[in-house]
Amino acid sequence: MFFLESVARNKMYDARRLFQSFQVAGPVSLGLGISLILFKMFGAVCLRKGYNKLVGKVVVITGASSGLGEALAHEFYKHGCLVVLCARRRQELERVREDLLHTHSNMTTYPPVIMPLDLGDIRELPRHVEKILAITGKIDILVNNGGCSSRGSVLDTSIEVDEKIMLVNYFGTVAMTKAVLKDMVARREGHIVFVSSVQGLIAIPERSSYSASKHAMQAFSDSLRAEVAAHDLSVTTVSPGYVRTKLSENALAGNGSAYGRTDEATASGYSPEYVAARIVRAVVRNEKEAVICPLLPRIVIFARKLLPFLYFYVMQRRARASSLKALAGNTSQ
């Protein structure tokens, strides 16, 4: 009780200090400050109401066995959703399910559903969706999160790797989305989320296969958004920067083998929990796009659109530096 009273006193003290600072600055600043505070309070109330609307929603998440997908499962689950966990590895899905039940055991919510599936097996995905609908009765939100990455130059990457990345990241996502759409259109209710990447907005060297698949996803989502608006469906495309997951470790090298290590940029990226919370907020706010990255990638995105010659120059320099680094590494061995 003493702790709660102390926190309350501190909050009141902070509010008084803020109000006093506006008074000192003058009536104009005071008016702007009060408007800003009221705007933030209104936004917080609207956001809370949006989170409340998630209760009871059926949320299907692909790639839910680890990383960002696992974090998304926790984020939707704690807001009262019935989450359907989809990925290839049943054992890992079981682990995530048990973790959800134990971590949020004080909540009254819906037990998670497990649906093992392979996004690369696109002919079977409609059957898996039918099984989900037979269990849950509906699908309110589809989060297309599952996918894989690649590392390697265009010259060193086999066409089989290109096919694999495109099959899982693009065609698997498209097949899953089309399988879910029929029910959503019939009910005139639903939200489809595409977890793309900043590299779906700006391609970088050594990521041709991955960037191409994410560029394709961006285009598909834009077309879909326009078409399903007449059916009252929503589409959100999320483009995160680097996230601290095993995406680079599990990425395919140019010859198809596992890359097997974590990039420095990935290791210093956002936490999966932060990105998951931001994605759920984008869903609640019905944002059409959400770019989740630091300032530098945003500048590069801006340059690609308005100063393409600068973007091309920077990427050429980066590719040249990467080639020299690889050559130096081979020479030292």
pLDDT of residue 96: 97
pLDDT tens for each residue of the chain, 333 residues long: 333 344 344 444 454 554 455 455 566 555 665 655 555 555 555 566 678 899 999 999 999 999 999 999 999 999 999 999 999 999 999 999 999 999 887 776 789 999 999 999 999 999 999 999 999 999 999 999 999 999 999 999 999 999 999 999 999 999 999 999 999 999 999 999 999 999 999 999 999 999 999 999 999 999 999 999 999 999 999 999 999 998 989 999 999 999 988 888 899 999 999 999 999 999 999 999 999 999 999 999 999 999 999 999 999 999 998 887 766 655 555
Which residues have CB under 8 Å from 200's CB, separation 6+?
211, 214, 215, 217, 218, 239
Residue 263 lies in a domain: yes
Does residue 208 share a domain with residue 273?
yes
Does residue 313 share a domain with residue 284?
no
b/e burial code for range 209-239 (CB count within 10 A of at least 16 → b): bbbbbbbbbbebbeebbeebeeeebbbbbbb
**CA 166, CA 14: separation in Å to the nearest integer?**
52
Q: Which of 13, 51, 110, 210 is catalytic?
A: 210
Residue 238 lies in a domain: yes
Write the Ramachandran bin of 232: left for phi over 0, alpha for psi from -120 to 50, otherwise beta: left
Does residue 89 share a domain with residue 208?
yes
Does residue 314 share a domain with residue 233?
no
Q: Which of 98, 119, 101, 122 is nearest to 110 (CA)?
A: 101
Does residue 313 share a domain with residue 215?
no
Does residue 119 share a domain with residue 210?
yes
- Counting the structural domains of the chain, the total is 2
210 is catalytic: yes
- Contact between residue 273 and residue 244 where contact means Cβ atoms under 8 Å apart: no
Residue 21 lies in a domain: no
Residue 314 lies in a domain: yes
Residue-wise DSSP of 190-230: -EEEEE--GGGTS--TTBHHHHHHHHHHHHHHHHHHHHHGG
pLDDT of residue 6: 44
Does residue 138 share a domain with residue 224?
yes
Residue 36 lies in a domain: no
pTM of the model: 0.84
Q: Which of 250, 290, 300 is nearest to 270 (CA)?
A: 290
Q: Which of 150, 84, 146, 90 is nearest to 120 (CA)?
A: 146
Does residue 268 share a domain with residue 194?
yes
Residue 40 lies in a domain: no
Does residue 328 share a domain with residue 260?
no
pLDDT of residue 224: 98
Q: Which two tokens stand for residue 35?
A: 């408007």
Residue 20 lies in a domain: no
Q: Which of 216, 263, 257 is nearest to 241 (CA)?
A: 263
**CA 75, CA 47: separation in Å to the nearest integer?**
15
What residues make up the domain containing 161? 56-293
Point out which residues pair with 142 in neighbouring strands: 60, 192
**CA 96, CA 99: separation in Å to the nearest integer?**
5
In eight-state DSSP terms, residue 152 is B
Identity of the amino acid at 92:
E
Does residue 161 share a domain with residue 112?
yes
CATH number reported for the structural domain that contains residue 145 in this entry: 3.40.50.720
Residue 27 lies in a domain: no
Does residue 241 share a domain with residue 107?
yes
pLDDT of residue 263: 85
Cβ of 202: how many Cβ atoms within 10 Å?
21
Does residue 151 share a domain with residue 79?
yes
